[in-house]
Amino acid sequence: MLREREFKDYDGENNANIRTGFTAGKTAYLINAKKDELMNYCSECGEKVVSITPPNDNRERFVCNVCNMVHYQNPNNVAGAILTWQGKVLLCKRAIEPRYGKWTLPAGFMENKETVHQAAARESIEEANAKPGHLNLFGVFSVPYISQVHIMFSGPLLDDNISPGIESLEVGLFTEAEIPWDELSFPVVGHSLKLFYKYGLVPGRVHQASISRTPDNEVQICSETLEIANTD
């Protein structure tokens, strides 16, 4: 029997939202908090799990003592894109939590069996009904305090025919002066845009950064720009 599964996610701004999915067996609750990830029930058999270090491992995992399933919790991959039309950048105003009503680049969690390129293009279509052209890797940004890795691409729009998708309240094309800097959704969005306007789009230039928060909730960013040699 398929039953509803409830997830509670905490984003970097201490806001919580509920996502629903389905699982076999008993209802499972997975709480991803800022510091701890708690899991109560096994997704295989529905029995309670315990947090122990399994044999031949070096850290605690959630383990089911009934079916012996070891539950590995790994970072989520987010793919997105900086899409441009005649010098303007595509932004979307979020219609979902977290950060409802804030502006963001089209981006979202990868789905199974798709490439990062496909994920970035799909998110652009879903959020803005946009038609992205060829996408180049722009940057890889680690956000360890929420266990995410953001892979950002950049490229042109094939036309300016955009409109809000189901996850967007509004969409628009913005010059640098028009960017609503104080109304951006997440630190990774603002950092990506700052790098874009500082360095532009140069073939073979890729950015990487680690975005963290202090105990006082201040954002800290350690960033570098890499020049990748052209091997053609």
Alpha helix (H) residue ranges in the chain = 116-128, 187-199
203 pLDDT band, cuts 50/70/90, is confident
> Mind listing the pLDDT tens digit for each residue in 153-171?
999 999 999 999 999 999 9
Q: How far is CA 103 from CA 92, 125, 154, in A?
A: 5, 16, 17
pLDDT: which is higher, 201 or 205? 205
Bond prior to 180 in cis (omega within 30° of 0): no
Return the percentage of the chain with pLDDT > 90, whole number: 77
> Mind listing the pLDDT tens digit for each residue in 103-141?
999 999 999 999 999 999 999 999 999 999 999 999 999
Q: Please, what's the b/e burial string for 68-86 (b: 16 or more CB within 10 A of its CB; e: otherwise)?
A: ebebeeeeeebbbbbbbbe
Burial (Cβ within 10 Å: 0-12, 13-18, ≥19) of residue 17: middle
Distance of alpha carbon 37 from alpha carbon 45, whole angstroms: 20
Q: Would you tell me which CATH number, out of the four given (3.90.1720.10, 3.40.50.2300, 3.90.79.10, 3.30.420.40), belongs to the domain 76-227?
A: 3.90.79.10
> Mind listing the pLDDT tens digit for each residue in 7-40?
223 233 333 332 333 223 222 323 333 334 689 9
**Domain limits, CATH 3.90.79.10, in the chain:** 76-227
Return the pLDDT at 230. Answer: 56
Highest mean pLDDT among 11-20, 117-126, 204-213, 219-228: 117-126
Query: What token pair was written down for 71?
Result: 């539950």
Distance of alpha carbon 162 from alpha carbon 8, whole angstroms: 32
Residue with the two structure tokens 């806001």? 15
